[in-house]
Amino acid sequence: MDFRHSDEERAWHDTLHSFMDKEVGREYTREHDENREFPDEAYQKIADNGWLGLLIPESLGGLEANPIMYAIFCEAMAKFSLDTAACVMTSMFTAKNIVNHGTDQQKSDYLSDYLTGRRKFSVSISEPQAGSDAAAVRTRAELVDGHWVLNGNKIWCSGAHLPGAVITILARTSEDRHRGLSLILVPNDTPGLEIHKMPTIVRRSLGTTEFFMTDVRVPEGNIIGEPNRGWEYIGEHLEYERLGLAASYVGNARTALDDTIKYTKEREQFGRSLSSFQVLKHRMAENETELSAARLLVYAAADKMARGERAIKEVSMAKVFAADVAFKIAFNGMQALGGYAQLPVYDMERYFREAKHGMVGGGTNEIQRTIIAREMGL
Ligand SMILES: Cc1cc2nc3c(=O)[nH]c(=O)nc-3n(C[C@H](O)[C@H](O)[C@H](O)COP(=O)(O)OP(=O)(O)OC[C@H]3O[C@@H](n4cnc5c(N)ncnc54)[C@H](O)[C@@H]3O)c2cc1C
């Protein structure tokens, strides 16, 4: 067993971190968070580098990277903000549904524009009454004259409002709780769709929306894969989503802890640096240990997926553990920076807000533990 990254993986890590430092940076990230603006320039540079195609096969113009390279990418994208990572990852793992189950027509209609940065994808599972109980979806899609006609109300859909976005909607196509759901592609400019951005305290750059569908019509060919298999497809989707999220929590927690270490070394009180007080030192040592453990869980899950195996339990373990560690690190960072932590210019308040959301988005911590227990046969 070798815990080190290969030379290729290390080079990929270094390329990405240097990109984040030089082409994205803290100020740009902070400004876009404060102004609730999508990081268009950074996103376009990522597209121009071909990185949006990480999970797309070479035959379709992508890089066909394995889940380890994908995890390294997500970790780096979150260097300054989990929101920046979400801006890139959301389209990335959602596009994979088309790769895995889409028709040739869908691949040619949607993937090439995605790779150039002109089109984005968002995924819409949640509804007001269907949160953790995601299969309680009520949005209906009925086949009428060669079109799916959708009616219903979705909530918390990140990125649905962005120019050129195509929403992958989990909708009810028959009565069976799980085997009555399908995935349908709906471009966000389809008539009958009313999208509102929500004033969330996180994902301020990506933006999260609520939308209402009144007789929204899309061609029959916009269904992904077979009718009534949406729940199965979304299960595969969530494996990539949760791996990416867990990796991003580790990436952002690394910066939050590094910022805490730097600040406590520089700040003096009682004639000594804060980092010389044992209580702070031990807290940081504990966080360093937990962060290493979280990182190992992420790469153990990625490694299993790279071997072509399902990693439902491993991905949930990585996500819940990394979310807790990221929150603890940001929480301790807020305490270590004292009053200064309240100022956006120190970035810690952003890490703190975003780490809190990590315990909810992509399935809550309680739901991850329920999945782990189920996989344990409990
Ligand atoms: C900023 C943001 C962005 C999001 N982006 C998207 C997106 O792009 N697409 C999308 O589809 N969704 C998205 N979501 C929705 C997200 O996935 C849900 O918020 C999440 O799944 C939890 O659902 P809920 O908020 O309805 O909470 P609830 O399900 O109401 O849960 C509330 C609390 O009860 C607990 N709970 C519920 N059931 C159980 C149980 N059986 N056992 C123990 N505890 C339980 C939960 O863990 C939680 O602590 C986003 C949410 C936010 C806030």
Percentage with pLDDT > 70 across the chain: 100
Tens of pLDDT, residues 162-205: 999 999 999 999 999 999 999 999 999 999 999 999 999 999 99
Q: Calculate how far, in angstroms, residue 233's C-alpha sits from the geometric centre of ligand 1.
A: 19
Substitution site in 33, 132, 162 for ligand 1 pocket (most atoms within 8 Å of beta carbon): 132
Pocket of ligand 1 (CB under 6 A): 122-126, 131-132, 156-158, 200, 202-203, 208, 357, 360-361, 363-364, 366-367, 370
Q: How far apart are CA 81 and CA 256, in angstroms?
A: 10
Pick the CATH number of 231-375 from 3.30.365.10, 3.30.1340.10, 3.30.300.30, 1.20.140.10: 1.20.140.10
Q: What is the pLDDT of residue 2?
A: 82
Indicate which residue's Cα is closest to atom 25 of ligand 1: 131
Q: What are the residue boundaries of the structural domains of the chain, listed by start? A: 7-120, 121-228, 231-375
Q: Calculate how far, in angstroms, residue 132's C-alpha sits from the geometric centre of ligand 1.
A: 5
Superfamily of segment(s) 121-228: Butyryl-CoA Dehydrogenase, subunit A, domain 2 (2.40.110.10)
Q: Calculate how far, in angstroms, residue 266's C-alpha sits from the geometric centre of ligand 1.
A: 39
Tens of pLDDT, residues 301-346: 999 999 999 999 999 999 999 999 999 999 999 999 999 999 999 9
Substitution site in 360, 370, 371, 374 for ligand 1 pocket (most atoms within 8 Å of beta carbon): 360
Task: Give the mean pLDDT per block of 10 residues along the chain (378 residues).
Answer: 92 98 98 98 98 97 98 98 98 96 96 96 98 98 98 98 97 98 98 98 98 98 98 96 98 98 98 98 98 98 97 98 98 98 98 98 98 98
> Sign of dihedral through CA atoms 363, 365, 367, 371?
positive
CATH topology for the 7-120 domain? Butyryl-Coa Dehydrogenase, subunit A; domain 1 (1.10.540)
Q: Calculate how far, in angstroms, residue 95's C-alpha sits from the geometric centre of ligand 1.
A: 22
**Same fold: 121-228 with 231-375:** no
Phi, psi of 139 (to 5 degrees): -55, 130
Q: What is the pLDDT of residue 45?
A: 98
Q: Calculate how far, in angstroms, residue 213's C-alpha sits from the geometric centre of ligand 1.
A: 21
Q: What is the pLDDT of residue 1?
A: 80
- Which atom of ligand 1 sits closest to the CA of residue 370? 42
Indicate which residue's Cα is closest to atom 26 of ligand 1: 131
Q: Calculate how far, in angstroms, residue 55's C-alpha sits from the geometric centre of ligand 1.
A: 26
Q: How far apart are CA 234 and CA 230, in angstroms?
A: 6
pTM higher than 0.95: yes
Q: Calculate how far, in angstroms, residue 16's C-alpha sits from the geometric centre of ligand 1.
A: 31
Q: Calculate how far, in angstroms, residue 202's C-alpha sits from the geometric centre of ligand 1.
A: 14
The conformation of residue 130, written as its DSSP 8-state character, comes to B
- Which atom of ligand 1 sits closest to the CA of residue 198? 1
Q: What is the pLDDT of residue 99?
A: 97
Indicate which residue's Cα is closest to atom 11 of ligand 1: 125
Indicate which residue's Cα is closest to atom 13 of ligand 1: 156
